[in-house]
Chains A and B, each alone.
Chain A
Amino acid sequence: EDQVTQSPEALRLQEGESSSLNCSYTVSGLRGLFWYRQDPGKGPEFLFTLYSAGEEKEKERLKATLTKKESFLHITAPKPEDSATYLCAVQVDSGNTPLVFGKGTRLSVIA
């Protein structure tokens, strides 16, 4: 069974304190890995897609990386506005199967 596990469940950082969120996956064949940001009361907002091990994507203070078994979302010098839940999802096999989502990491950045 395809599985996606995110850790930690919750993370509290001081403003400027860099850290990483983890997304580990066990799937039959990875076609793509996606990161989303979700603010309270809103729908998930697409951040990145990663397709192959070694790939990296960056956006402002966020950098996503991918290995054969996990992905990391690195947050450099976070600000309070980076507080949100970050979701990871994978696309497997033919691409017509639905995404498999992790349960998310709830990030709080304190000023």
Chain B
Amino acid sequence: DAGITQSPRHKVTETGTPVTLRCHQTENHRYMYWYRQDPGHGLRLIHYSYGVKDTDKGEVSDGYSVSRSKTEDFLLTLESATSSQTSVYFCAIRTSGSSYEQYFGPGTRLTVT
């Protein structure tokens, strides 16, 4: 357990509404990541952060934005949710040092109707 929590764990929302998912960690890891996981696609990186206010895009960043105003929290926002964003979203942290290991949170299941 790497001390990662995600909220909410489940959400149903309507097309066009904004949605924010939260990832919280308790161990001050510098790197944090947001992935989505869909059948047939596996885990795909949306955005990641390498420090407070330092973020970068991943493979599938269109339609998503992120913010990190403090070390422990990494927020993922869908500005205007679409049905194609129905997915399971995972947050991860990377341990410090040279190991590069990532540890994942429990996930958020988002349904956009």
Interface size bucket, B side? 20 to 34
B50: chain A residues within 8 A (beta carbon): 96
Q: Is B99 an interface residue (CB 8 A)?
A: yes
Which residues B92-113 have CB closer than 8 A to chain A?
92, 98-107
Taking A95-B100, A96-B50, A99-B102 as contacts, is the C-beta distance between A42 and B107 under 8 angstroms? Answer: yes
Q: How far is the CA of A45 from the CA of B102 in the complex (A)?
A: 9
Q: Which of B43, B58, B99 contacts A49 (CB 8 A)?
A: B99
Which residues, 12 to 67 on B, are CB-close (under 8 Å) to A? 33, 40-45, 48, 50, 58
Q: Which residues of A contact B33 (CB under 8 A)?
A: 98
B90 at the interface (CB under 8 A from A): yes
Residues of chain A with a CB closer than 8 A to B58's CB: 98
Which chain A residues numbered 54 to 111 have a C-beta less than 8 Å away from chain B? Answer: 87, 89, 91, 95-96, 98-99, 101-104
Given contacts A31-B100, A32-B100, A99-B102, could you give 6 more A-B pairs where the C-beta distance is less than 8 Å?
A34-B102, A43-B107, A44-B43, A95-B98, A95-B100, A98-B58
B residues sitting closer than 8 Å to A (CB atoms) are 33, 40-45, 48, 50, 58, 90, 92, 98-107
A-B pairs, 8 with minimum CB distance:
A43-B104, A103-B42, A101-B43, A91-B100, A44-B104, A98-B45, A43-B107, A43-B106
